[in-house]
Amino acid sequence: MRFSISGSRWLFAAVIVILLPFLLPGYWTYQLSLAGANILAALGLNLLTGYAGQISLGHAGFLAIGSYIAALMTASLGGGWFWAALPLAGIITGLTGLILFIPALRLGTIYLAIATLGFGAAVSQVLIRISVVTNTYEGIHVPIPAIGSIPLERNIAMYLITAGLVFLLVWVAQNVIYSKLGRAFIAIRDKELAAEAMGISLPRYKAYAFVLSALYTGIAGALHAHIVGITQAEVFNLGTSIQLFSMIVLGGLATLPGSIVGALFLSLLPELLKLLVTSQNYYNAIYGVMYGGLLVVVIIFMPYGIWGALVRASVRFPKLRKFFVGA
């Protein structure tokens, strides 16, 4: 089944997204920006894990690399360099994706998961050790993006930039998925030998998947640094990698809307919960139980994730179905 996002729906979504920061309090604009960065990281991971079947438990490493490249660049050259730092962070991080591609050529699923886990751990250790560069515990203060020398209003500017990139990169991901690339990814995921017999070069397409995935995640990292205004090594730990992985499993593996739903859900859920539960002690306990419980419930009752469950439910309601599937 194809869930393509068609013209009118793009426009509808775009209008709402652009209006939101002017309607919501600043704190929620900030949270939505972070959720937007997470959408890009989840998209990147879903391309690799959901579509191409290459499990990564170390994507926080790519988030960190993108974040530090962009942060170091704007911190030393000024906020006006943000526009160059962002794509550069994406491209360089994309190329570092090839580090994981090498083990992926030789290792099966579980072993690759361990190798990527190691990659994530190694990146965070390196960042903590090279404190000359990363200013380990205090972190790097990231300037506000500027046009020329005029700084923008961080909160709203970063929101709109993030939203714009989410639209652009969702569209790119959609182009990739519904092309020979996406088909080759799925072929490699489901039957490597048959894929090869069809003329699909495993090394080439695994390389594409890793570079593309790392590129998306690197851009997410660069955005993250500039949204928060500070980048600290301790943020990019195993927990973050697992969080990203949970997003695509909850939202729906190998679906583009699933990455968006999963990222929004897991990014905003804790914030919504904070509105209800004001005591910090209770909050930690309730969030832990909710998060774990949700994962279990989704895995048991919604094998195709939240998005998959919505699409299935929509089969019974033709109007909903038209919205989700477009046919």
CA distance linking residue 309 with residue 303, whole number of Å: 8
Least separation, in Å, of the C-beta of 55 and another protein?
17
Nearer to another protein, 225 or 254 (CB): 254
Length of the chain: 327
Nearer to another protein, 43 or 57 (CB): 43
Q: Which amino acid is at 145?
A: P
- Phi, psi (degrees; rounded to nearest 5) at 148: 65, -120
Least separation, in Å, of the C-beta of 63 and another protein?
21
CA distance linking residue 86 with residue 84, whole number of Å: 6
81 DSSP 8-state letter = G
Q: What share of the chain is helix, strand, coil (3-state, %, to 5)?
A: 80, 0, 20
Least separation, in Å, of the C-beta of 200 and another protein?
6
Least separation, in Å, of the C-beta of 90 and another protein?
13
Task: Report the candidate in 266, 267, 260, 245 with the shortest Cα–Cα distance to residue 310.
Answer: 260
Nearer to another protein, 146 or 202 (CB): 202
Selected from 202, 242, 268, 320, the binder of another protein by CB under 8 A is 202
Q: From residue 205 to residue 224, what is the string marking binding to another protein with x (rule CB under 8 A)?
A: ---x----------------
CA distance linking residue 229 with residue 223, whole number of Å: 10
Least separation, in Å, of the C-beta of 105 and another protein?
13
Give the torsion sign (CA, 71, 167, 170, 36). Answer: positive
Least separation, in Å, of the C-beta of 238 and another protein?
30
Nearer to another protein, 17 or 184 (CB): 184
Taking CB under 8 A as the rule, does residue 200 contact another protein? yes
Name residues contacting another protein, limited to 276-305 (CB under 8 A). Answer: none
Taking CB under 8 A as the rule, does residue 194 contact another protein? yes
Produce one character per residue of 93-102: b if its CB has 16 or more CB atoms within 10 Å, e if not: bbebbebbbe
CA distance linking residue 155 with residue 8, whole number of Å: 28
Least separation, in Å, of the C-beta of 199 and another protein?
4
Task: Report the candidate in 42, 87, 45, 65 with the shortest Cα–Cα distance to residue 209.
Answer: 45
Nearer to another protein, 186 or 309 (CB): 186
137 DSSP 8-state letter = T
Nearer to another protein, 11 or 194 (CB): 194
Least separation, in Å, of the C-beta of 2 and another protein?
8
- Under 8 Å between Cβ of 73 and 86: no
Selected from 16, 190, 230, 293, the binder of another protein by CB under 8 A is 190
Q: From residue 149 to residue 188, what is the string marking binding to another protein with x (rule CB under 8 A)?
A: ----------------------xx--xx-xxxx-xx-xx-
> Would you give the end-to-end CA distance of the chain in angstroms?
10
- Long-range pairs, 287-294, Cβ under 8 A, ≥24: 291/246, 291/266, 294/250
Nearer to another protein, 145 or 251 (CB): 251
Size of the site for another protein (CB under 8 A): 27
Site residues (vs another protein, CB under 8 A): 1, 171-172, 175-176, 178-181, 183-184, 186-187, 190-191, 193-202, 208, 254
